[in-house]
Structure 1
Amino acid sequence: MQEKVLKILEFNKVKEHLLEHVSSSLGRAEAESLLPSSDYDEVVQRQEETDEAAKVLRLKGNIPLGGIFDIRPHVKRSVIGGMLSSQELIQVASTIHASRKIKRFIEDFAEEDPTIPCLLAQTDQIIVLVELEQNIKNAIDDNGEVLDSASETLRSLRNQQRTKEARVRERLESMIRSSNAQKMLSDAIVTIRNDRFVIPVKQEYRGHYGGIIHDQSASGQTLFIEPQTIVQLNNELQTIRVKEQQEIERILIMLSAQTGEYSFELEIITEVLANIDFMFAKARYSRKIKATKPIMNRDGRISLVKARHPLIPIDEVVANDIILGKDYSTILITGPNTGGKTVTLKTVGLCTLMAQAGLQIPALDGSKMAVFGAVYADIGDEQSIEQSLSTFSSHMVNIVEILQTVDFESLVLFDELGAGTDPQEGAALAISILDEVYKRGARVIATTHYPELKAYGYNREGVVNASVEFDIETLSPTYRLLIGVPGRSNAFEISKRLGLSDRVIDMARSYVSADSQQVENMIASLEESKRQAEKELQEANELLKNAEMLQKDLQKQMIEYYEEKDTLHEKAAEEARDIIEKAKREADRVIHDLRKMRHEKQAEVKEHELIDAQKKLSEAAPKEKKSKNPALRQTKKHVFAPGDEVKVLSFDQKGSLIEKVSADTWQVQIGILKMKVKEKDLEFIKAPKIVETKPMATVKGKDFHVSLELDLRGERYDNALSRVEKYIDDALLASYPRVSVIHGKGTGALRQGVQEYLRNHRAVKNIRFGDHGEGGNGVTIVEFK
């Protein structure tokens, strides 16, 4: 991609936001070098990596990425025999430890969710260098200090050093506690100069202690003297310190050599950690801008669902649906300035660059993006912070460069095509340029305010007009993209709302040709029709969604009801069997006692009477209900017809046939539910009867079909209450557990009257307003006892 295009579309600003989410210098380097790729397989791989990292963040919240350093320079120096500092070595150990934690974290996550092949492929390359890590940490603490335990020699030298230091301090403290010390010393303290212990002596008493002067105060009144009596002790202490430093260097050289031995493994660890840090930086940025993974294709198709410009705050930006490359390859956005045309242009361009760089895009799930060989942009954006040329000549320079290389794998973005010159010539030139790019097979989005180009989309196959909506009431753009509707001038309407007289406006209209006025009226009608269609589509989708949710809920409740019913029946039968068995055992005991009595006392109890009594007890046991499994039922063959009353065997519920939807499937009405049922799951009950009209209605039984809702909207108060009374009686006869009464909101008088009647009805258990999906305060839900 051209650096100029990346700057125009503000891809560098996206990278700046991405840098806020890296965890180490390794990830920062990867993010700074990020560029879009034109290789399809590479783009898909990048998107998979970002998506896997986003999945881990979504399920785990975070990943342990602390303690990572760029140790590649340290490793290179260790390979050539250089000595690493203690700080550099501890960075090596910390990076090894971090790689071990990340490897374990990813492997543990994969046990729960194995769909992270990219992350597993990365961590599989990590070789755990526990020995090197432990060797470094056993010798150096987290602050970079070499520990006494690094070697026995170092431990011995430091013990000697502490002993010598104690002896020197003891000698000096005895001096400063002497009777003359208060007079000769500036302060009764022991301090250090040039790594040697000294005391502060006043200038006039410099000869009293002898020894070596190491420093003096700013005023020259105090000299820091090493007394002659402790010079030898300080020399011995200094010798020990030199040996200590030599031992430390030996230890560091040894650890550096060990680091060099694992240079190959350490370079792989560093590369893997850089990739993982970068993957999760992309995932964190996606979470911040609420981005999703696009579906990539090679066919030049773009389908953005509610796409947003990533650099505009979410609470301010307007989301738009943008489709390109399927039914048309060119979108021409017309209309006045400051309407949001340029933002739309840059949204498509920037989302394309982000997708090809492996970043997720700020749009809803299901959005599709194409992998283009090149993206070209000629955008003179005065709204951008960066200054860009906007004269006709500068535009032409850019366009000439584009036309030299554009092909069928290109995405071209033209802003205000043909602007900056004579309108008639500019419009003609714009049409010619668009035709040339279209012939090359490129995908094109262009903006213009020339009215001559409004007819371009209607006269060219593969070209569609579009505009950005403008609200006449508020005199401001809504920034909503309207594909299929060309932009129109709002100058007359705006001028009228701003107070320009009708006389001036009518005169202006007279100067506009009849054809132009007709085109403007047609565009206005198209805009209104599109808005109305979108509103109705949204309402229809909401109704469909609510209906599907209701159907699923009712089906679930019905299944649960019959399962519970069968369970309770089986439980009751089991309890009944237990009771009978207990009674039979008791009866057997009584009969046994009677027989025993007869034998013992010659009682007059006849044997056949005892047998009859026992038989009657056995027959009292409940019989198990036969299985309702439709596969075991032997149903009589019947040719089903619409209107037949049937029984749905799997639900054990009656219903009626509506229509046959396939060779072996019917649509069945069960109460308010309509569902598709296999013919083998149906049992014929009876054919529909022709009902003759009678003066008086007969008594209604449980099979009487009553609607589950009563609509009273538009009824007079008295008539409505009469209908409610009759409807409640019918619903009770139909054994409905609950019904709905629709009274609307209105003034509330009808609602209050209906609810007052229902509260006082002996069969009503409870009433409530409908939920959000049931009609709210305009519906009363009635539950029966």
Structure 2
Amino acid sequence: MNEKYSKTLELDKILSMLAELTCCDDARDAAMAIEPMTDIDDVRREVQRTNDAFQLTVRFGTPSFVRVRNPAARLKIAEAGGVLSPKELLNIEAILRQGKLLAQWSNQFPNEENSITEQLFSIYQNNSLMREISSAIVSEEEIDDNASPELSAIRRKIRQTELKARDKMEQMIRSSTYQKYLQDNIITTRDGRFVIPVKAEYKNEVGGLVHDTSASGSTYFIEPASVVEANNEIRVLQSKEQAEIERILAELSAHCADCSEDISILFREIIDLNILFCKSTLASRMNAQAPKIVDNGVIHLRKARHPLIDPKKVVPIDVYLGEDFSCLVITGPNTGGKTVTLKTLGLLTLMTMCGLLIPVADNSTISVFDEILVDIGDEQSIEQSLSTFSAHMTNIISILGKADYRSLVLVDELGSGTDPVEGAALATSILETLKAKGSKIAATTHYAELKMYALQTEGVENACCEFDVESLRPTYRLLIGVPGRSNAFAISQRLGLSEDIIDHAKSLVQSENKRFEDVIDTLEESRHEYESLTRQLEEKNREIERTRQEVREHKERLSAEKAKEVEKAKNQAMKIVSDVRAQADALMDELNELRRQKDKADFSAKTLAARSGLKNRLDKIHDAANPIAKRENISYTLPRPLKPGDEVLIFDIDKEGTVIKAADKAGNVLVQAGIMKTKVNQSNLRLLDKKPKVKFGGSTIKPSRGTAQRNAKSECDLRGMTVEEALMDLDGFIDNAVLSNLHQITIIHGKGTGALRAAVQQHLKQHKCIRTFRLGVFGEGEAGVTIAELK
């Protein structure tokens, strides 16, 4: 691929953007050295790797990369027995640490399989060597005290010796004897040895070695004789320290040499992965994606955006080539976007061939070419020298010599720079030659002859960059299948050129060209009408789809709510059943317990206590088993004031009763419901359409609701029952008799042992509804029955 053509299409700027994202100089150089690939399998593999990296970063974030340098040359020195410097060893440690970071990042998706996971999962790690280097070397100039026990011991001795020497010298500078000899009361060093500053006139008063003098000669830096031995010892220890450091570095270098090949491979993989994830980051910034890749010359870009134009200003274009036609002739006014269209077409193709994702919409297609041949010579081009006709034709001649069926040819302003008639003929001939070679061509022009050529020639298609005459601005939309208009007369008129001049100019236009422009005008009007209708139809379709979506969502919401309510009702029913069963079981347990205790002395008392609470507990069980909530009191107005004798319905408990006393000041009415008298607010009462009570001779006959509903019996047969069972049945029988307004009942208990008779009569003595009772007489059952009179 010709580098000059790639530079014309500004691929170098895209690679510079990629290089800015890399972690180190080696990765930057590798990014700038990327070249378009011409083998479809290579292109597909690299684009897939970039896309897989992009998908991983979207889900798991981008892995971190540290700054590293190529260790290959220094590792060869280590293999030959050389010693690496701390800086070089720290670089190797950084490479190993980067491998560990990548391995840790890939642990987020252990079961993921794509084109780069195998590389990530198999990345080389050497944690032991990494720890050895990091624990031994603090920085490029410093080795850690704990790099070895020997080094730690030597440095400890150096510190102790230095402390002793400084103590001696501190004594000297604090001594009144020496203070008058000293220029300053300080301790300093010269050539790594401790010295004190002595005035020049007293240099012979302080015994020791002179190591230096000041620039003025007024100060001598003398090493006192008392610390010479300590300084000598420090020098010896420092030599040992340096020897131990050399030994440590040599040992670490040897370890690096043992795995030098693995470290070199790891470095290359780090650079490769860094560039790959930088491609992913660049794709994210461009809102790019992977196109379908073919090698049959077909290009179909949907909503393509030039990546070097401000995303807020760029106008997406749809452009296709190589399927229904192999040559696209693009016309339109200057600055209308023709050149940008050519560059977008060429640059996105080159980016794909470099393994990059491109800023297009879904279902875009890019073809791989052996050559992308470019002649773009306007002011937007880097090579301004191509603006002359001779340079222009020189480039075209070169293109014609290289072009074949595996080439994409992009030519801007074909045939310009010379006589229009000759230039148009020359441009037509060049297009026919390229078309005959099987090349895929996109060319821009202003010549009407080329528009006619595109209309009349199979495999050649017109396209234009739309221009809004009203606003005198280009829309930058590319319209394929429509020849562009010059718009010269319309633009001039809008700018204020005289009507006479414009009319005269129109009369000078040849009739053929005039008819052609009229055809274009008609096509343009039809296109605008079609686009308007299309927009209206699309808006209606979107509205219909929105309505469908709302109905669908509403239906799904109702279904979900229905399922939720059914589930809630089931749970409530299960809880009710569970609670009722538990209470019923508890009652049965109590009955069984009473049956077991029937022979005990306090049995009757326990029976009475259990019976007294039985009815209340049964009512509670009934309430628990009834899931129907209390009736809601709806708005109701009595047709007239209530009076004694009116039949009413107590609404909230759904029970009928009779008014005994009219409403008081608070609106409360005294009502009798069965044997119960209660005050009820008149708002809770409903007047029933029944006849009031009828009085005879001053007494009131009470029509009983219970009488109408029950077939009351006056006899209760308890024979064959146990005492507790009999007493329970007897209570129910008495309640029923009271509700049925019976005055006398017969209880059949039999003669037997007399135990049941005694229990019954004992129970009747304590019952609040029994007035008197007696044994039966002859003809009533005698001692086998008890006759009771109700209150």
Superposed, which structure 2 residues align to 1:218-617 within 5 Å? 218-384=215-381, 387-562=384-559, 564-565=561-562, 568=565
- The one-letter code matched in structure 2 to 1:205 is Y
State, as a whole percentage, how many aligned pairs show the same letter: 43
Contact 1:309 1:343 in 2 (8 A): yes
Provide closer, same or farther for how the CA distance between residues 223 and 497 of structure 1 changes in structure 2, counting only shifts above 3 A. Answer: farther
Q: For residue 61 of structure 2, what is the aligned residue in structure 1?
A: 61
Q: For residue 105 of structure 1, what is the aligned residue in structure 2?
A: 105
Q: For residue 780 of structure 2, what is the aligned residue in structure 1?
A: none
Q: Secondary structure of the equivalent of 1:208?
A: coil
Provide closer, same or farther for how the CA distance between residues 135 and 577 of structure 1 changes in structure 2, counting only shifts above 3 A. Answer: closer
Q: Secondary structure of the equivalent of 1:83?
A: coil
**Pairwise CA distance, 1:245:** 0.4
**Pairwise CA distance, 1:530:** 2.8
**Pairwise CA distance, 1:274:** 0.9
Distance in 2, matches of 1:224 and 1:380, equals 75
Distance in 2, matches of 1:334 and 1:193, equals 82
Of residues 163, 166, 174, the one that matches 2:163 is: 166
Distance in 1, matches of 2:532 and 2:404, equals 39
Cα shift readout 1:8-58 (whole Å, capped 9, x = no counterpart): 111111111111111233422320211110111111111111112212222
Distance in 1, matches of 2:581 and 2:137, equals 86
- The one-letter code matched in structure 1 to 2:198 is V
Residues 325-334 or 548-557, more deviating: 548-557
Contact 2:19 2:29 in 1 (8 A): no
Distance in 2, matches of 1:526 and 1:388, equals 38
Q: Secondary structure of the equivalent of 1:37?
A: coil
Contact 1:337 1:449 in 2 (8 A): no
Distance in 1, matches of 2:563 and 2:291, equals 49
Of residues 144, 150, 153, the one that matches 2:150 is: 153
**Pairwise CA distance, 1:110:** 4.2
Provide closer, same or farther for how the CA distance between residues 168 and 455 of structure 1 changes in structure 2, counting only shifts above 3 A. Answer: same
Distance in 2, matches of 1:328 and 1:219, equals 92
Provide closer, same or farther for how the CA distance between residues 510 and 218 of structure 1 changes in structure 2, counting only shifts above 3 A. Answer: farther
Q: For residue 34 of structure 2, what is the aligned residue in structure 1?
A: 34
Cα shift readout 1:641-665 (whole Å, capped 9, x = no counterpart): xxxxxxxxxxxxxxxxxxxxxxxxx
Contact 2:332 2:467 in 1 (8 A): no
Distance in 2, matches of 1:224 and 1:363, equals 77
- The one-letter code matched in structure 1 to 2:18 is L
Cα shift readout 1:760-782 (whole Å, capped 9, x = no counterpart): xxxxxxxxxxxxxxxxxxxxxxx
Residues 534-543 or 400-409, more deviating: 534-543
Provide closer, same or farther for how the CA distance between residues 576 and 202 of structure 1 changes in structure 2, counting only shifts above 3 A. Answer: closer
**Pairwise CA distance, 1:76:** 2.3
**Pairwise CA distance, 1:330:** 1.0
Contact 2:86 2:139 in 1 (8 A): no
- The one-letter code matched in structure 1 to 2:335 is T
Contact 2:186 2:197 in 1 (8 A): yes
- Structure showing greater Rg: 2
Kindly tell me the number of residue pairs found equivalent between the two proteins. Answer: 595
Q: Secondary structure of the equivalent of 1:184?
A: coil
Provide closer, same or farther for how the CA distance between residues 485 and 575 of structure 1 changes in structure 2, counting only shifts above 3 A. Answer: same
Q: Secondary structure of the equivalent of 1:246?
A: helix
Provide closer, same or farther for how the CA distance between residues 54 and 531 of structure 1 changes in structure 2, counting only shifts above 3 A. Answer: farther
**Pairwise CA distance, 1:542:** 4.1
Contact 1:197 1:234 in 2 (8 A): yes
Cα shift readout 1:301-352 (whole Å, capped 9, x = no counterpart): 1111111111111122222111111111111112332222111111111111
Q: For residue 699 of structure 1, what is the aligned residue in structure 2?
A: none
**Pairwise CA distance, 1:278:** 0.5
Contact 1:75 1:260 in 2 (8 A): yes
Contact 2:5 2:372 in 1 (8 A): yes
Provide closer, same or farther for how the CA distance between residues 149 and 571 of structure 1 changes in structure 2, counting only shifts above 3 A. Answer: closer
Q: For residue 654 of structure 1, what is the aligned residue in structure 2?
A: none
- The one-letter code matched in structure 2 to 1:397 is T
Provide closer, same or farther for how the CA distance between residues 580 and 57 of structure 1 changes in structure 2, counting only shifts above 3 A. Answer: closer
Provide closer, same or farther for how the CA distance between residues 293 and 535 of structure 1 changes in structure 2, counting only shifts above 3 A. Answer: farther
Q: Secondary structure of the equivalent of 1:479?
A: strand
Q: For residue 9 of structure 2, what is the aligned residue in structure 1?
A: 9
Provide closer, same or farther for how the CA distance between residues 470 and 567 of structure 1 changes in structure 2, counting only shifts above 3 A. Answer: closer
Contact 2:99 2:123 in 1 (8 A): yes
**Pairwise CA distance, 1:454:** 1.1
- The one-letter code matched in structure 2 to 1:79 is E
Q: Secondary structure of the equivalent of 1:109?
A: coil
Q: Secondary structure of the equivalent of 1:418?
A: coil
Distance in 1, matches of 2:110 and 2:567, equals 45
Provide closer, same or farther for how the CA distance between residues 220 and 366 of structure 1 changes in structure 2, counting only shifts above 3 A. Answer: farther
Distance in 2, matches of 1:461 and 1:306, equals 26
**Pairwise CA distance, 1:124:** 3.4
Provide closer, same or farther for how the CA distance between residues 186 and 315 of structure 1 changes in structure 2, counting only shifts above 3 A. Answer: farther
Cα shift readout 1:156-208 (whole Å, capped 9, x = no counterpart): 11111111111221222222222254443332221222222222233333333
Q: For residue 131 of structure 1, what is the aligned residue in structure 2?
A: 128
Distance in 2, matches of 1:569 and 1:8, equals 70
- The one-letter code matched in structure 2 to 1:466 is A
Provide closer, same or farther for how the CA distance between residues 569 and 182 of structure 1 changes in structure 2, counting only shifts above 3 A. Answer: closer
CA RMSD of aligned residues (A): 3.0
Q: Secondary structure of the equivalent of 1:160?
A: helix
**Pairwise CA distance, 1:489:** 1.4
Provide closer, same or farther for how the CA distance between residues 199 and 301 of structure 1 changes in structure 2, counting only shifts above 3 A. Answer: same
Q: Secondary structure of the equivalent of 2:196?
A: strand
Provide closer, same or farther for how the CA distance between residues 271 and 514 of structure 1 changes in structure 2, counting only shifts above 3 A. Answer: same
Contact 1:23 1:281 in 2 (8 A): no
Provide closer, same or farther for how the CA distance between residues 248 and 397 of structure 1 changes in structure 2, counting only shifts above 3 A. Answer: same
Provide closer, same or farther for how the CA distance between residues 365 and 110 of structure 1 changes in structure 2, counting only shifts above 3 A. Answer: farther
Provide closer, same or farther for how the CA distance between residues 153 and 322 of structure 1 changes in structure 2, counting only shifts above 3 A. Answer: same
Q: Which runs of 5+ in 1 are unaligned?
A: 597-620, 623-785
Q: Secondary structure of the equivalent of 1:127?
A: coil
Distance in 1, matches of 2:261 and 2:435, equals 52
**Pairwise CA distance, 1:518:** 2.2
**Pairwise CA distance, 1:133:** 1.3
Cα shift readout 1:259-311 (whole Å, capped 9, x = no counterpart): 00001211121111111101011111112222222221112111111111111
Cα shift readout 1:580-607 (whole Å, capped 9, x = no counterpart): 99699989x99xx9xx9xxxxxxxxxxx
Provide closer, same or farther for how the CA distance between residues 87 and 550 of structure 1 changes in structure 2, counting only shifts above 3 A. Answer: same
Provide closer, same or farther for how the CA distance between residues 491 and 134 of structure 1 changes in structure 2, counting only shifts above 3 A. Answer: same
**Pairwise CA distance, 1:222:** 2.9
1:45 paired to 2:42: no
Q: Secondary structure of the equivalent of 1:207?
A: coil
**Pairwise CA distance, 1:356:** 0.4
- The one-letter code matched in structure 1 to 2:353 is Q
Contact 1:18 1:281 in 2 (8 A): yes
Q: For residue 76 of structure 1, what is the aligned residue in structure 2?
A: 76
Distance in 1, matches of 2:508 and 2:178, equals 110
Distance in 1, matches of 2:200 and 2:253, equals 50
Provide closer, same or farther for how the CA distance between residues 290 and 218 of structure 1 changes in structure 2, counting only shifts above 3 A. Answer: farther
- The one-letter code matched in structure 1 to 2:396 is I
- The one-letter code matched in structure 2 to 1:432 is S
Cα shift readout 1:115-171 (whole Å, capped 9, x = no counterpart): 4x2221222332221221122223222555222222221111111111111122122
Distance in 2, matches of 1:574 and 1:258, equals 70
